[in-house]
Structure formats: structure tokens, C-alpha cells
Amino acid sequence: MLATSTQLRQFLREYRLLLILGCSALLAELAYAILNLSAMPMYLKFSLHQEAALGLIISTFLLTEALSRPAFGALGDRIGRKPLLVAGPAVTAVTSYITVKLQGPFAVPGLVLLRAIDGLGSGALWPTAFATIGDVVNERHRGAALSVLNVTYMGGLALGFLLGGAANEIQGTLTASFYLVSILLGTAVVVLLLFFQVPKSAPSRPLPETVGVTPELEAFQHPERFRLGTLFRSFGEAPEMIVLACVTSLGVGMLTPIVKLYGVEHLGLSETGIGLLVAPIAASMGVAAVPLGHFGDRYGKCLALCWGLFGCACGMWAVALFRSVAVAVVAGIVIGLGFTVAFPAWNSVVISATSPDRRGEVLGAVGMAQGLSAIVGASAGAFIYASESLSFPRLGLVNYNVPFWLAAILLTCSAVIAFTWVRNKHGFRDPAPGVTPGQQRAALVACAAALVSVGVWVATCYTRPIAPDRVTWCWIQQLVRGRPDRAMRFVIANSGGGWDGVAESRLLARTFREWARKREARYTVYKARLFDHHRAQVKVVFFLSGKQRKHFEVVLRRLESREWKIVRVSAKPNSQAYSR
């Protein structure tokens, strides 16, 4: 039955402040998603050529955000919500604009400082937004109202990659998305200043669970002070959940700063293409959040946690093993749905296992462990991604996808912990049958088989030569970094037909290095085309600023030693505008 105009006006009048807050939160989350996940990785690597600093910069944001939330939550109780709601996005609107003005030797220290300020802005915004719900929405509807902010998070994630990438590609520069961030946050500030009026006083009282507000949301609404002692004290009460939080968040955190770079450099996607890939994954999580959130209530919290993490591990292995856009989309949806099932059950297991007077403390400790592990993971993932010494070309692994392998291994370990330690301690609380011994054995056998298979595969790969596309990738990488002497081990110096490997490598090194410095060049090495057992061809495409691309065809020959070496490179003479 459609609502009448009177009912619609009444709804808008009653929930006007909630709708304004939700709109502003969506704009802010969209801006933060663009800034941290889309704009910053691309700008650091291809404009500033400082990809090694990516982990430090992202971790600085995460750390200052986590440490400042409790203080800003208490400050909002004293001075009112609106000043912090406005100040948070306003600060980042300014720092995002300043970011693109930083150049030279002080760029990285400046970016670290700006991201620390951004962390303070985010730390001021989100606890205040959740606390504001308690001020403007009555108790009967607070559970649904709090979910509005969770929906804005998924909406920002779904659209952040797409809008940030589209801005860059339309303008033909990697700085356009930073200006978009400033515009979005500036709009959020204007909306809050002009339309949002909330009383200065009256932070809400703790809500009983019967009104639909989970204790973890209440803890987020009024976060406690950061104390390592809390983490150690809570470890004795729920050690299995804290260990599980550390292992899982470490694996997921590794991928946070590099997802977009991986899509561009390893899968050959455009920035807009990555947005189109991420959008259905985030949308599926948003649509399925409510029904899958009740999965644990119906079939058991422990069962939902175990199989949710098992599904995440399977999806991550698919991403690590197969270099395919289609596989990445399907696996991403599986991972997203797996976490959608596992995380509500995760918190419910902690709630069920702790006494009411310690529940908030233990939930806070688990959240703290997750946050610290995510910070370590983000730093490690970005470092591995930027370090060529951590490539294993004989395995077909370059530093681009090593973090995905480590994440798959860590999520597999998480599934093992869930099916053993967590299931044995908490499984009795699930309604029958729960996680049966047969399910437990099957899952553990599958995880063990996966890890053993990896070991066997590694041993087998080291008996084989490096694949042609990986030889080409290693050669191109050295040339882009201006190291033709190191690149020479991948080519034949003189193979006949006028080929001079030394001269060609030096010439291309100068060209590629200039493209990287002056034209924000990025490249993709595609799968090899085998003509026979002794000859292969690999396509390489460089994408330059100004919507230009350069194509190269690299020909390789297998020697008597079974190793592949480059014997010829041909290039199309014309640059082309590209639209993918």
C-alpha cells in the first residue's frame, strides 16, 4: 500500500534530522573511501613514485582515528554534537586540497601529517554521528536508525572506487579525485550547517538489548579509552576470539591499501573498471546484510562464524590463484557474503561468552585487536607490494599478488581456529545440530589439503623455468626503475636479426623511466601466447596521462637450459586515446 502525502510529510517531519544526518554521513564516507582506497594509492605510486610510503600513510590515518575516537566521543558529550559533526569533514576537505600541492622531498612527511589530521577528522565524525542517533531518535526506532549509518558505509564503499576513478579518467589526471573529495566533504559541511539542528545537551542513556541495539554498537557509540591493559585482561576471558581477530584482520588489512593498484597493474583494469568491479560486491553485501545477519540466530552463531570464514578463505584462494577479472568478481562476492555472515555471529559469540558487566570491555578488546592487526597488515601489505625482493617469479608470484597469497593463508588459519578452538569452546550454545563432528573434520581436511597442496606446488614450481609472462614482467620492472643492467639477465644480448639486447634495454629504460616520472605511466603485462615449446609472445601495454597508451609485443625463446629469454621487442609507433 502506497503512503499518502500526509503520511509522507509526517515521516519526513519525524525523521528529518535522521535523513539529513544519513545524507551527510553518506557524502563523508564516500569521500573517505575515495581518499584512502582510490585516490591515495594511485597518486603515491604514479605521481609521487613513493609507493613504499603507502603503508605508513594509511596506517597513520587508521591509528590516529582509532586513538582519537574515545576522546572525541567524550568531547561531544560536553560541547554538543554539531561542532564535531561539522569539524570532522571540514578538516579533511581542506587537507585533501592541500595534498595535491605537496611536492619534492617533503611530500611524504607532509602526507603523513595530513593523514594524521584526517584521522582526527574521521575520529571526530563517526562516534559523534552514532551518539547523535541517541539524541534525535526515540528508543523504539534506534536500532533501525543506527543501521542507516551502516548502510552509508556500504554505499560509500560501493561508489568510492567508481566515482574516484571516473573523476581521474574524465580529467586525465590523478589529482582530480582529491578535488572531488573536497567537494563532497564541503557539501556535507554545508548540509549540516544549514539544515541540521540538534540540542547541545543530553547524550543518550545506555540502551537495553531489547530495543534492537547490539552491545557492540553501544560500545561504538560510547567508546572506552584505549588501554593495552584491557586487551591483556580480556585475553584471559576470550583468548580464542582475540587470536581469531588478530589473524583475520591481519590478512584483510594487507589488502586495504593495494586493492586498486592490483586491479590496475595486475588485472589490467581502468580506474572506472575497478569501480564497476567493486560496486556489485559491496552492493551484494548491503542487500544481504539483514537476511544473512539472522543466519546465526537461526542455525547457530558458531556455525555461521565457522562457515563464513571458510567461505572467505575459499574466495581469497581463488583471487590468489587465478588472474581473471571474472574470477575476482565472483570471489569478491563470496568473500563479502562470507564476512556478512561471519561478523554478526562473531560479535554474538563474544556477547554470549562474557558476563554483562565485562561485555563492553571484551568487545572493546576484540575491536582493539582487530584495529591494531589491520594497521600492521596495511603496513605489511603495502611494503610487500612495493618490494621487488619479495617477488617469486619462479612460482609465478610477483610482489603484486604476494599479499593475496598471504591473506589466503591467514584466512585459512582463521577457518582452522574457528572450527577447532572456537567451535570446541562455544559450539554447545548453538541449536542442534550446529557444527557437527563430520562438518568439523571435512573443513579441517579441506584446509589442511589446501596448505599441503601449496607446499607441493611450491616444490614443483622450483623445478620448472620461470614462465614467459613473468620473465617479461621482471624485465619491464627493472627498466621502469631505470636499471637496465639488472634487466639484462632476462634477455639474450645478441640473438641475430639485428637484435642488440644491451642497447635495446638501455634505450627502453630511458623511455620507460621518463614516462613514469613525467606521464604517470603504469603498465600491464598480459598472459603469454605460446606458439610452440620454444617460442612465446607477451603483450605489454603502458597507460599514460592524457588518456594515451603504448603497445609492445615481447618475443621470448626457450634456451637449451629450459629458461625463457627475451629476443625481440616490437612497438606500435602511435599513441592512442584509450577508453576501457
Mean pLDDT by 10 residues, the chain (580 residues): 54 69 87 90 86 86 82 78 88 93 86 92 82 66 59 76 89 90 94 75 40 41 51 71 90 88 82 83 72 74 90 92 85 86 78 68 72 88 80 70 90 93 85 85 90 82 82 89 89 80 90 86 86 89 82 91 89 48
Distance CA 310, CA 500 (A): 52
Would 12-197 and 227-464 be classified into the same CATH topology?
yes
Q: Distance between CA atoms of 282 and 302, rounded to whole angstroms?
A: 24
Distance CA 426, CA 141 (A): 32
Q: What does the block give as the cell for 289?
A: 546484510
pLDDT at position 310 is: 94
Per-residue HEC secondary structure of 136-169 comes to: HCCHHHHHHHHHHHHHHHHHHHHHHHHHHHHHHH
CA-closest candidate to residue 77, choices 221, 223, 201: 201
Look at residues 378, 404, 382 and name the one whose alpha carbon lies nearest to residue 392: 404
- Predicted local distance difference test score (pLDDT) of residue 572: 64
d(CA 404, CA 362): 30
Distant-in-sequence, close-in-space partners of 570: CB < 8 Å, separation ≥ 6: 552, 553, 555
The three three-digit cell numbers of residue 71, written as one number: 576522546
pLDDT at 195: 82
Instruction: Give the three cell numbers for residue 173.
Output: 589526471
- Nearest Cα to Cα of residue 491 among 482, 478, 481: 478
Domain range 468-577, CATH class: alpha beta
Model-wide pTM > 0.85: no
Give the contacts of 546 (CB within 8 A, at least 6 positions apart). 172, 519
Helix (H), strand (E) at residue 557: strand 548-558
pLDDT at 10: 61
User: Three cell numbers at 177?
Assistant: 579525485
Q: Give residue 475's region: left, alpha or beta (phi > 0; psi -120 to 50).
A: alpha
Handedness of CA 83, 84, 88, 94 (dihedral sign): positive
Q: Cα dist. 468→167, 371, 421, 457 in Å?
A: 36, 40, 44, 18
How far apart CA 146 and CA 132 sit, in angstroms, is 10
**The pLDDT value given to residue 307:** 92
User: What is the CATH number that goes with domain 12-197?
Assistant: 1.20.1250.20
C-alpha cell at 232: 591483556
Q: What is the end-to-end Cα distance of the chain in Å, rounded?
A: 44
Element (H or E) spanning 306, and its range? helix 301-321
Spatial CB neighbours of 138, under 8 Å, sequence gap ≥ 6: none
Give pLDDT, residue 392.
74
Q: Tell me the per-residue pLDDT of 208-261, one tens digit each, with 9 for 90 and over.
A: 333 344 443 444 444 445 455 555 666 677 788 889 989 999 999 898 888 888
Assign domain 227-464 to its CATH architecture.
Answer: Up-down Bundle (1.20)
Residue ranges per domain, the chain? Answer: 12-197, 227-464, 468-577
Partners of 552 in beta bridges:
540, 571
* Dihedral sign from CA coordinates of 255, 256, 258, 262: positive
Residues 335-386: tens digit of each pLDDT: 888 888 887 777 778 777 776 666 666 766 777 778 888 889 988 988 888 7
535 neighbors 262 (Cβ within 8 angstroms): no
Instruction: List the grid coordinates of 461.
Output: 614450481
Q: What's residue 203's pLDDT? A: 43
